[in-house]
Amino acid sequence: MLGMDVAAACAQRGYDVQVHDLPEFDVTNPDHLRQAVAAADVIINCAAYTNVDRAQSQSDLAHRVNGEAVGRLGQLARETGKWVLHVSTDFVFDGRLDRPYVEDDRPNPINEYGKSKLAGEVLLRQSGCSHCLVRLEWTYGRHGRNFITKLRERARTTKALNVVNDQIGSPTATAEVAQAFCDLAEQRAEGLFHFASEGYASRYDVAAFVFDHLRMEMDLRPCRTNDYPAPAARPLNSRFDCHKIEPLLREPIAPWQRPLEHFLGEL
């Protein structure tokens, strides 16, 4: 989902973009990684194992993709003098903080997916390569399934829907992320950053916004996360403080409603 928008944004800015993806490219294959790094001047790694619930039973695979492969990428980048931008997630936090998370807050993942993504962060830093780490949250876009597209799919089969109102974050368009990544790549920025749309909402609030703008009748019912146990625990607070990244961006970060309204209009 994210990688396609990043590739398109980079191409629009005049870069020669090479995209590596399954099944031809396997990020856990050392030879594939070595060839990809050798052919690039800049590496933006959007590859990830992202099935949060399945990661509980496939933790070995999640850690190979989200952890070990990232460490190997960092080692290759250090050896060849390449700069890496790597994507991480709000799931490295436990969601128990009573304020938005800043980059210096201590990670404490509460599921295997979050643990695997944190392992990738640690291994990339330990590699010693020139890199930029960007944590994202609640992303949606034209490619792939996400919370927004799932809402639309559900509306075709039901007129009543329970949505959690105790998970708080910022729905963030991959198109917005892609532009931010281009800004960071042009500067070869280094360090750890949080990026999300401005403002915060519950999952329930986002669902209400979506159905209102799509003019779909839906009996929305608020519920709690604990009402629907899942294999993987979710952080309730996914709010990010994005002040650190703002000076590096061409444009101010937009409120979450604006990109989402545009996305819904395209649908």
Per the CB < 8 A criterion, the answer to whether 127 and 141 are in contact is no
Residues pairing with 44 in the sheet:
85
Residue position matching structure tokens 């128990």: 96
Give CA–CA dist 68/65, Å, rounded: 6
15 is catalytic: no
Give CA–CA dist 47/65, Å, rounded: 8
The total of other beta-carbon atoms located within 10 Å of residue 219's CB is 10
All residues at 6 or more sequence positions from 7 whose CB lies less than 8 Å from its CB, including other chains: 17, 19
All residues at 6 or more sequence positions from 253 whose CB lies less than 8 Å from its CB, including other chains: 176, 195, 196, 197, 198, 242, 246
Give CA–CA dist 140/2, Å, rounded: 8
Per the CB < 8 A criterion, the answer to whether 216 and 155 are in contact is yes
All residues at 6 or more sequence positions from 263 whose CB lies less than 8 Å from its CB, including other chains: 140, 141, 142, 148, 173, 175
Q: At what angle do helices 203-213 and 257-266 cross, to 10 degrees?
A: 40
* Active-site residue, selected from the candidate residues 49, 113, 140, 204: 113
Give CA–CA dist 63/36, Å, rounded: 21
Question: Which residues are annotated as catalytic?
Answer: 113
